[in-house]
Structure 1
């Protein structure tokens, strides 16, 4: 017989029982903790789902902001183009106005072949800028129909600066 079985060794079964009880306790504690961790993981999954939703909203908002920035840039370019077009037109209009003002300031020129400005003779009137038949008649003390009767060939709607007309006799 061997020596282990002859000795009275009663501690070995007790140690086995103690180790078994300890492992059962540790296993039970681990099962309780695993259950607690499962609940925690489930709670975190809800939070992760909310975070994913927020991330999706942030992505959508970023895309909308990018589109708005592109739209603003496009509007800025088209507005600048419109301003440039208007500025060019205003420049042309200003040049035309300047030419008209200079032309009005120059003295009226006589007919071809003559060297000086147009001069009105007796019973004549030289058209100035802004004159109309009614203004001339009023300024000279005549009735408009009398002025028109003396000048049957004059187009009263298109008077030209420097043009001579006859005045009626007083």
Structure 2
């Protein structure tokens, strides 16, 4: 026979029972810990879920605000462009009016057409009559031809018109 069966091994079944009892106790403790951990996890899931929902709501609000701001920026850009076009159009109109005023200022009454009233010469002016030339006017006024030409640089002596005003040089 073998040695195990010959010896008194009455402790062996008791040790097996003790190990089994310890295993049951440890498994009970483990189940209690797992249950406690499960409760804590369950308790944390709800607040986390609420925080996630809140974060999603804030993200949606931010996206809506961004879309609204983008629309406002686009509208502002369109309104600004329209305003610049209106200003440009008004500047063009004003420029046209200025040009007309300048042309009216430069343009003199056409020859042969009567002005609103008789043309009157000032103290240092002369009104051209039929047959007048710069030389004839200079002799009549006691001045030189060069002096008459010098005070009338923009006047073409060969194209004098009846009723046209010219300046006279100062008498010495």
TM-score (norm 1): 0.58
Q: Which runs of 5+ in 2 are unaligned?
A: 120-172
Displacement of 1:106: 3.7
Which residue does the alignment assign to 2:31? 31
Residue-by-residue CA offset, 1:84-119 (whole Å, 9 max, x unaligned):
211221211221331243245346514x546xx837
CA pair 109-12 structure 1, distance change in 2 beyond 3 A = same
Displacement of 1:70: 2.3
* Structure 1 residues 7-46: aligned runs within 5 Å: 7-46=7-46
Q: Which runs of 5+ in 1 are unaligned?
A: 123-170
Residue-by-residue CA offset, 1:27-64 (whole Å, 9 max, x unaligned):
11111111111211111210231122123213312321
Q: Find the aligned partners of 2:13 and 2:43 in 1 and give their Cα distance.
A: 45
Secondary structure of the corresponding residue to residue 68 of structure 1: helix
- After superposition, the CA RMSD in angstroms is 2.6
Which residue does the alignment assign to 2:61? 61
Report which stretch shifted further, 40-49 or 68-77: 68-77
TM-score (norm 2): 0.58
Aligned length: 119
Secondary structure of the corresponding residue to residue 109 of structure 1: coil
Which residue does the alignment assign to 2:133? none
Q: Find the aligned partners of 1:56 and 1:50 in 2 and give their Cα distance.
A: 10
Q: Find the aligned partners of 1:34 and 1:21 in 2 and give their Cα distance.
A: 20
* Structure 1 residues 3-152: aligned runs within 5 Å: 3-106=3-106, 108-110=108-110, 112-113=111-112, 118=115, 120-121=117-118
Q: Find the aligned partners of 1:34 and 1:82 in 2 and give their Cα distance.
A: 71
